[in-house]
């Protein structure tokens, strides 16, 4: 097997760089969810991270790792999701320009948010090809550095710092579970977990309607997501070139859940923990509530990955 | 003026009794809400208290203060709100019976919750007279002690412990603001605040549609609430006989807000702080966002009093 693109040392270095830039988010517990899942759960609250998602860690780390001359020219990405807001705020916080390509169809609230962080927005058609082309043009014109939402070594290392903090606080976890879309969070989490304790089990939870990582693990080769169909709109992307080898090496198992199970878990997070967590962030709890983890795995860390939801369009 | 029913020493004693029984809730901050209010806000998260509301403090303290023979006969109250759940769980946690009178019209979810905590429920017509009569019958039959939701010295002292914890963590606040309905939380909070720092300003925030405390302060005598009409369903009650003299002595000012302002504040708590707070709990933030506090009051503690909301009936 070829060497992995990111190491535990990269995650540790990212943690030192990010300490003054990101929130150290709290770890919460909930008696009701312990009872319902039959385990002891420790929720790492990345929905309370800046911009409301763990994505701010990876984006901030990628920006911080740029050379002085790269910083002058700024950063660029294409995204309609949390990565766009994360990169926009990370760039502003570190005083460099950000160019964000968004589809014309992006929700106004997300456009306003990215613009509010001072980024320059370029609108394009909503196809993947149009987005990539628009980003390429910006990079050529401005010299900005393209920051991929997950297939980027600095981004992966940054995302791993959430698990690092969780394990500092609760060192005797039996397992950690996090959602998987492109795999940035899951790969960073697994590197952090096994860097601290090689016997710790790392699980990735994935919507049935976008189960490319599950299928990749079943077949042993990276599978594209095809046409995803799930309420977990943060997990629509295919597992990446850099993230896949890390996941294949470090992930115990990919657990898949239905949209109904995701919505039920989300409602419990809102009604019992009083936490606004987006559908993608509820996917790991859905796996736990449906008892998909093996017995004997008692103390489980759960990454609540994000909390950006349109309150006027709730799935119940 | 006659002596007050509760003292700072009672609040301190309650804190010692409650330490092993209640959650020490976290204090949160939010850059966006600081910016929008123009102040530095510290949110005491009582929506993360057991049963999702500060009411668990007062109820637990009242139960703990019973004599051994009183404990044998249990406790009784009439309530369709958070006090019913709080007393039911407090009684179960301390191993005594609880008899709760609820109106036939109470939402099923609240009935299920009270029953889930092991209380015996008696249904009655939804008038105040019917509730009081039903409770009186139970007290006569069982010898249970009636625990009023706010006009009870142990309850008031218990509610004050939230502010005590907040001031232990953030000792240099300029002011504390909390919602006022019957005045249990507001009176306990003001006793705690002035016991620690007599110069600290305590504000009560009240819905315009149930502004009896505001009118009581204006006229100098306790005014009934009349027919309340507000979305803040935890604040429909009239200020009490025991709470009113405390409020009159310790509260700087009662600030009133409209239902629209309450809903706007609630939405911001959900969308920006990612916290599920009920309308009553958003009333203080509504006052802050509408700049009802005098200038010069910079560091403000805000009691987020509860988080019990029907997710299927949101006010937007």
Chain B positions touching A307 (Cβ under 8 A) are: 274
Chain A positions touching B264 (Cβ under 8 A) are: none
Indicate the average pLDDT of chain A.
96
Token duo for residue A74: 């700024």
State pLDDT tens for residues B211-242.
Answer: 999 999 999 999 999 899 999 999 999 999 99
Alpha-carbon torsion (B107, B113, B116, B120), positive or negative = negative
Q: Find the mean pLDDT for residues B188-213.
A: 98
Residue A196 pLDDT class (50, 70, 90 cuts):
very high
Q: Find the mean pLDDT for residues B170-193.
A: 98
Q: Considering CB atoms only, which of B48, B267, B274 is closest to A307?
A: B274
Cβ atoms of residues A192 and A163 within 8 Å: yes
- pLDDT exceeds cutoff 80 at A276: yes
State pLDDT tens for residues A133-188.
Answer: 999 999 999 999 999 999 999 999 999 999 999 999 999 999 999 999 999 999 99
Indicate the average pLDDT of chain B.
96
Which residues share a beta bridge with A177?
A203, A302
| Secondary structure (3-state) at A176 | strand
Q: Give me the active site residues of A, please.
A: 55, 80
Which residues, in sequence order, are CB contacts of A65 under 8 Å at separation 6+?
A17, A154
pLDDT of residue A126: 85
Q: What is the DSSP letter of A266?
A: H
pLDDT of residue B105: 87
Cβ atoms of residues B18 and B262 within 8 Å: no
Cβ atoms of residues A166 and A306 within 8 Å: no
Q: Which residue has the tokens 């979810």?
A: B109
pLDDT of residue B1: 46
DSSP A280-303: HHHHHHHHHHTT-SPTT--EEEEE
Each residue of B223-235: b (16+ CB within 10 Å) or e? bebeebebbbbbb
Whether residue B314 and residue A314 make contact (CB cut-off 8 A), yes or no, is yes
Whether residue B316 and residue A312 make contact (CB cut-off 8 A), yes or no, is yes
Distance from CA of B129 to the nearest CA of A (A): 32
Which of B274, B307, B316 should be substituted to probe chain A, the one whose Cβ sees the most A Cβ atoms within 10 Å?
B274
- pLDDT exceeds cutoff 70 at B85: yes
Which residues, in sequence order, are CB contacts of B254 under 8 Å at separation 6+?
B180, B203, B204, B205, B206, B211, B213, B214, B217
Q: Considering CB atoms only, which of B52, B271, B316 is closest to A274?
A: B52
Tell me: ipTM over 0.90: yes
| Secondary structure (3-state) at A105 | coil
CA distance A60 to B278: 34
- Among A104-118, A237-251, B94-108, B167-181, the range scoring the smallest mean pLDDT is A104-118
State pLDDT tens for residues B103-140.
Answer: 998 888 889 999 999 999 999 998 889 999 999 999 99
pLDDT of residue A81: 87
pLDDT of residue B2: 56
Token duo for residue B139: 């007290």
Distances (CA, A) of B234 to B53, B69, B179: 10, 32, 9
Which residues, in sequence order, are CB contacts of A298 under 8 Å at separation 6+?
A39, A40, A174
Residue length of chain B: 316
pLDDT of residue A307: 97
Percent of all residues in chain B with a pLDDT value above 90, rounded to a whole number: 93
- pLDDT exceeds cutoff 90 at A80: no
- pLDDT exceeds cutoff 60 at A281: yes
Q: Considering CB atoms only, which of A26, A270, A312 is closest to B276?
A: A270
Neighbour-count burial of B67, counting CB atoms closer than 10 A to its CB (0-12 exposed, 13-18 middle, 19+ buried): exposed
Neighbour-count burial of B191, counting CB atoms closer than 10 A to its CB (0-12 exposed, 13-18 middle, 19+ buried): buried
Residue B254 pLDDT class (50, 70, 90 cuts):
very high
Q: Diameter of chain B by CA atoms? A: 56
CA distance B303 to A293: 38
pLDDT of residue A1: 46
**Chain B residue with the nearest C-alpha to that of A29:** B48
Cβ atoms of residues A89 and A56 within 8 Å: yes
Q: Within a 13 Å sphere around the CA of A8, how many CA atoms are in the beta-carbon half?
A: 12
Whether residue A274 and residue B47 make contact (CB cut-off 8 A), yes or no, is yes
CB contact, 8 Å: B26 with chain A?
yes
Token duo for residue A287: 């796996």
* Helical (H) or strand (E) element with A138: helix A128-142
CA distance A164 to A171: 10
Token duo for residue B252: 């700087």
Cβ atoms of residues B312 and A316 within 8 Å: yes
Chain A positions touching B52 (Cβ under 8 A) are: 274
- pLDDT exceeds cutoff 70 at B89: yes
CA distance B88 to B79: 11
Of B50, B59, B57, the residue nearest B79 (C-alpha): B59
């Amino acid at each position: 097997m070829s060497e992995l693109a990111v190491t535990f040392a990269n995650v540790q270095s990212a943690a030192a760089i990010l300490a003054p830039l990101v929130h150290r988010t709290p770890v919460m517990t909930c008696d009701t969810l312990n009872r319902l899942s039959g385990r002891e759960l420790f929720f790492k609250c990345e929905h309370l991270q800046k911009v409301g998602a763990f994505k701010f860690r990876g984006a901030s780390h990628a920006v911080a790792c740029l050379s002085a001359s790269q910083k002058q020219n700024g950063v660029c990405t294409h995204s309609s999701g949390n990565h766009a807001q994360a990169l926009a705020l990370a760039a502003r916080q570190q005083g460099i320009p950000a160019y964000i390509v968004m589809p014309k169809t992006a929700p106004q609230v997300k456009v306003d948010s990215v613009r509010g962080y001072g980024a320059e927005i370029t609108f394009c058609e909503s196809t993947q090809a149009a987005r990539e082309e628009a980003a390429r043009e910006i990079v050529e014109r401005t010299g900005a550095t393209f920051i991929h939402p997950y297939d980027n070594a600095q981004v992966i290392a940054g995302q791993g710092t959430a698990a690092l903090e969780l394990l500092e606080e609760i060192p005797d976890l039996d397992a950690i579970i996090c959602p998987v879309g492109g795999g940035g969070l899951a790969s960073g989490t697994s590197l952090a977990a096994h860097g601290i304790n090689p016997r710790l089990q790392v699980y990735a939870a994935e919507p049935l309607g976008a189960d490319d990582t599950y299928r990749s693990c079943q077949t042993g080769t990276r599978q594209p997501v095809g046409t995803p169909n799930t309420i977990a709109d943060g997990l629509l992307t295919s597992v990446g070139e850099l993230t896949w080898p890390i996941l294949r090496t470090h992930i115990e198992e990919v657990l898949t859940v239905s949209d109904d199970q995701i919505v039920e878990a989300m409602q419990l997070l809102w009604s019992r923990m009083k936490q606004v967590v987006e559908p993608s962030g509820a996917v790991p709890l859905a796996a736990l509530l449906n008892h998909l983890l093996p017995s004997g795995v008692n103390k489980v860390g759960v990454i609540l990955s994000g909390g950006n939801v349109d309150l006027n369009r709730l799935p119940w």
